[in-house]
Structure 1
Amino acid sequence: MSRPTRSAGTPAPPAALGLPAASALVIGSIIGTGVFALPAALAPYGPISLVAFGAVTLGALALAVTFGSLARRVPASGGPYVYAREAFGEFAGFLNAWSYWITAWAGNAAIVVAWVGYVEVFVNTGHRKALSILIALVGLWIPALVNLTGVRNTGAFQLVTTVLKFVPLVFMATVGLFFVDPGNFGPFNASGQSAAGAVSAAAAIALFSYLGLEAASVVAGRVREPGRNVPRATVYGTLVCAVIYILGTLAVFGTVSHSRLGSSTAPFTDAVNSIFGGSWAGDAVAVAAIVSGLGALNGWTMLCAEMPYAAARDGLFPGAFGRLRGANGTPVFGIVASTVLASLITVFSYTRFEDVFTKIVLLSVLTAVIPYLFSAAAQLRWLLTEGRRSLAPRRLARDVTVSALAMAFSYWSIQGSGYQTVYYGLFVLLLGLPVYVWLKRGDDRAAHPAAPAPVGVASAPEAPPAPTARDPHPVPAPRHRD
Structure 2
Amino acid sequence: MTTQNTAPGTNRPTLVQQLGARKPIEAFMAEAGSGTGGPHLRRSLGLLHLTMISVGATLGTGIFVVLSSAVPMAGPAVWISFAIAGLAAMFAALSYAEMAGAVPVSGSSYTYTYATMGEGLAWICGWCLVLEYAVSVAAIAVGAGEYINEMTRTLGVDLPAALTNPPGYEGGVFNVPALAIVLFATVLLVRGTKESAMVNTVLVFMKIAVLIFFIVIAFSAFTSGNFDPLLPMGTAGVSAAAARLFFSYIGFDAASTAGEEAKNPQRDLPRAIVLSMVIITTLYILVAVSAIGARQWTWFSGKSAALVQLLEEVTGQSWVALLFAAGAVLAIVSIVITVLYGQTRILVAMSRDGMVPAVFGRISKSTGAPVAGTWITGGSVALVAGLIPLGQLADATSIGTLFAFSLVSLAVILLRRSQPDLPRTFKVPLYPVTPILAILFCGYLMLNLGSTTWIVFGIWMAVGAGIYLGYGRRKSKLAAQWDSRVKH
Please state which band the TM-score falls in when normalised by the shorter chain: 0.7 to 0.9
Deviations 1:9-48 (A, max 9, x none): 2533101111111111011001144421232111212123
Change (3 A) 1:433 1:255: same
Aligned Cα root-mean-square deviation (Å): 2.6
Deviations 1:110-149 (A, max 9, x none): 1011111111113376563322011221111111110011
Change (3 A) 1:186 1:342: farther
Instruction: Select 2:212's aligned residue among 155, 170, 183.
Output: 170
The within-5 A match list for 1:343-358 is 343-349=382-388, 356-358=389-391
Instruction: For 2:485 and 2:44, locate their aligned partners in 1 and report how far apart those are by CA, in whole Å.
Output: 45
Q: Look up the equivalent residue of 2:41 and give its one-letter code.
A: P
Instruction: Select 1:181's aligned residue among 207, 214, 223.
Output: 223
- Structure of larger gyration radius: 1
Contact 1:84 1:378 in 2 (8 A): yes
The within-5 A match list for 1:200-279 is 200-279=239-318
Deviations 1:170-202 (A, max 9, x none): 2334553342123445754444xxx34212210
Instruction: Select 2:237's aligned residue among 191, 195, 198.
Output: 198
Q: Say if 2:409 is the partner of 1:376.
A: yes
Q: CA deviation at 1:163?
A: 0.8
The DSSP-based 3-state class of the residue aligned with 2:260 is: helix
Instruction: Select 1:89's aligned residue among 97, 111, 118.
Output: 118
Q: Look up the equivalent residue of 2:65 and give its one-letter code.
A: A
Q: Look up the equivalent residue of 1:268 and give its one-letter code.
A: L
Unaligned 5+ residue runs, structure 1?
350-355, 453-461, 463-482
- Report the equivalent of 1:80: 109
- Report the equivalent of 2:433: 401
Change (3 A) 1:442 1:187: same
The DSSP-based 3-state class of the residue aligned with 2:338 is: helix
Q: CA deviation at 1:442?
A: 5.4
Contact 2:211 2:287 in 1 (8 A): yes
Instruction: Select 1:309's aligned residue among 348, 371, 374.
Output: 348
Contact 2:83 2:285 in 1 (8 A): yes
- Report the equivalent of 2:377: 338
Deviations 1:303-323 (A, max 9, x none): 121111011112222211111
- Report the equivalent of 1:24: 52
Contact 2:72 2:301 in 1 (8 A): yes
- Report the equivalent of 2:163: 131
The DSSP-based 3-state class of the residue aligned with 2:44 is: coil
The DSSP-based 3-state class of the residue aligned with 2:151 is: coil
Q: CA deviation at 1:374?
A: 0.5
Q: CA deviation at 1:421?
A: 0.5
Q: CA deviation at 1:85?
A: 0.5
- Report the equivalent of 2:320: 281
- Report the equivalent of 2:446: 414
Q: Look up the equivalent residue of 1:18 and give its one-letter code.
A: G
Instruction: For 1:44 and 1:163, locate their aligned partners in 2 and report how far apart those are by CA, in whole Å.
Output: 30
Contact 1:109 1:346 in 2 (8 A): yes
Change (3 A) 1:28 1:121: same
- Report the equivalent of 1:14: 42
Instruction: For 1:221 and 1:282, locate their aligned partners in 2 and report how far apart those are by CA, in whole Å.
Output: 41
- Report the equivalent of 2:337: 298
Contact 1:118 1:266 in 2 (8 A): yes
Instruction: For 1:81 and 1:363, locate their aligned partners in 2 and report how far apart those are by CA, in whole Å.
Output: 19
- Report the equivalent of 2:365: 326
Q: Say if 2:131 is the partner of 1:99.
A: no
Provide TM-score, normalisation by structure 1: 0.85
The DSSP-based 3-state class of the residue aligned with 2:95 is: helix
Instruction: For 2:229 and 2:48, locate their aligned partners in 1 and report how far apart those are by CA, in whole Å.
Output: 42
